């Protein structure tokens, strides 16, 4: 039998699936590219779709914050994503195709948001531009990116149904994690996490703080953020909490960036 050509490496001859090897790699250090970065996701359905009444004050709040804080804005998709998913599922589109379609819409919102942030040096970037963030922000730019992670046609099959599991909440979290960011803040149209949908049950219990495991064990029928983001939080290396805040309330994003208690904190 011919011999394999090898290169000297600690992984020489490894399958890269051996559990002992994987555990050993967890103990290593990872570079934190931007440890002071605040990733702020502006929800499409919960924030952008409300138009100027909500968005204009929020643009100014985040814009002013960017003068003294490092910020990356990520955008959700909103009602147009729900429409294209509805049509796509009716036409039998595979999950990967649905993910491609959804990403196009959150990208539309990123274009609009970058224009609204023009007076604060807003600049629209793409998902593969994350390594340029240190340079862009050092130049005084306020980068805006679509929140849909670029799985596209390679999107994972969902555990339930056919809607892509990695959407914009998850994308914002993954961006914060890969650059070693300080905060992952999800701007919504509710005050945080509730035990039930507060629009259906106004008396639903508010949950100010919870762990990822505790939240997943609740197996909630509905939730303010994507379950996939919570699942990934458990294994994250750098970002060990997700903050969910009401972006309709002036000052909430500022409080979250400054470390003040507001909304819900989900911890790893």
Q: What is the pLDDT at residue 242? A: 98
Residue 28 included in any domain: no
Backbone angles phi, psi at 145, to 5 degrees: -135, 150
Q: What is the pLDDT at residue 33? A: 96
Q: What is the pLDDT at residue 23? A: 85
CB of 153 closer than 8 Å to CB of 101? no
Q: What is the pLDDT at residue 11? A: 83
Q: What is the pLDDT at residue 96? A: 97
Q: What is the pLDDT at residue 117? A: 98
Domain count, the chain: 1
Q: What is the pLDDT at residue 121? A: 97
Q: What is the pLDDT at residue 151? A: 95
Residue 11 included in any domain: no
Q: What is the pTM of this model?
A: 0.94
Q: What is the pLDDT at residue 36? A: 97
Q: What is the pLDDT at residue 51? A: 96
CA–CA gap between residue 78 and residue 44 (Å, rounded): 4
Residue 31 included in any domain: no
Q: What is the pLDDT at residue 243? A: 98
In DSSP terms, 245 is beta-bridged to 187
Residue 24 included in any domain: no
Residue 190 included in any domain: yes
CA–CA gap between residue 184 and residue 227 (Å, rounded): 15
Residue 238 included in any domain: yes
**What is the pLDDT tens value at each position of the chain, 268 positions in all?**
777 777 888 888 788 889 888 888 886 788 999 999 999 999 999 999 999 999 999 999 999 999 999 999 999 999 999 999 999 999 999 999 999 999 999 999 999 999 999 999 999 999 999 999 999 999 999 999 999 999 999 999 999 999 999 999 999 999 999 999 999 999 999 999 999 999 999 999 999 999 999 999 999 999 999 999 999 999 999 999 999 999 999 999 999 999 999 999 999 9
Task: State both tokens at 136.
Answer: 């862009």
Handedness of CA 60, 108, 129, 119 (dihedral sign): negative
Residue 151 included in any domain: yes
Cα 124 off chain centre by: 17
CATH value at residue 152: 3.40.1160.10
CA–CA gap between residue 223 and residue 165 (Å, rounded): 13
CA–CA gap between residue 8 and residue 157 (Å, rounded): 37
Neighbours of 185 (CB within 10 A): 26
Residue 18 included in any domain: no
Q: Is 13 left (phi over 0), alpha (psi -120 to 50) or beta?
A: left
CA–CA gap between residue 133 and residue 260 (Å, rounded): 25
Q: Looking at 102-141, which runs of residues are DSSP E strands?
A: 122-124
Q: What is the pLDDT at residue 68? A: 96
Q: What is the pLDDT at residue 262? A: 97
Residue 95: give the domain boundaries.
Answer: 36-267
């Amino acid at each position: 039998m011919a011999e394999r050509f090898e290169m000297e490496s600690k992984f020489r001859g490894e399958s890269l699936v051996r559990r002992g090897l994987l555990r050993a790699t967890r103990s290593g250090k990872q570079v934190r590219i931007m440890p002071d970065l605040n990733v702020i996701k502006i929800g499409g359905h919960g924030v952008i779709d409300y138009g100027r009444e909500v968005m204009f004050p929020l643009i100014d709040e985040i814009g002013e914050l960017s003068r003294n804080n490092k910020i990356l804005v990520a955008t959700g998709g909103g009602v147009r994503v729900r429409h294209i998913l509805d049509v796509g599922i009716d036409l039998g589109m595979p999950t990967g195709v649905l993910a491609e379609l959804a990403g196009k819409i959150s990208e539309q919102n990123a274009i609009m948001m970058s224009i609204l942030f023009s007076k604060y040096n807003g600049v629209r970037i793409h998902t593969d531009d994350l390594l340029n963030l240190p340079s862009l922000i050092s130049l005084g730019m306020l980068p805006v990116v679509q929140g849909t992670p670029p799985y596209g046609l390679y999107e994972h099959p969902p555990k339930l149904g056919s809607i892509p599991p990695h959407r914009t909440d998850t994308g914002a979290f993954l961006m914060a994690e890969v650059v070693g960011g300080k905060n992952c803040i999800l701007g919504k149209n509710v005050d945080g996490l509730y035990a039930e949908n507060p629009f259906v049950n106004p008396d639903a219990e508010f949950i100010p703080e919870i762990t990822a495991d505790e939240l997943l064990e609740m197996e909630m029928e509905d939730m303010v953020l994507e379950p996939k983001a919570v699942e990934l939080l458990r294994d994250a290396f750098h970002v060990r909490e997700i903050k969910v805040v009401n972006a309709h309330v002036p000052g909430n994003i500022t409080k979250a960036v400054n470390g003040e208690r507001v909304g819900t904190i989900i911890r790893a």
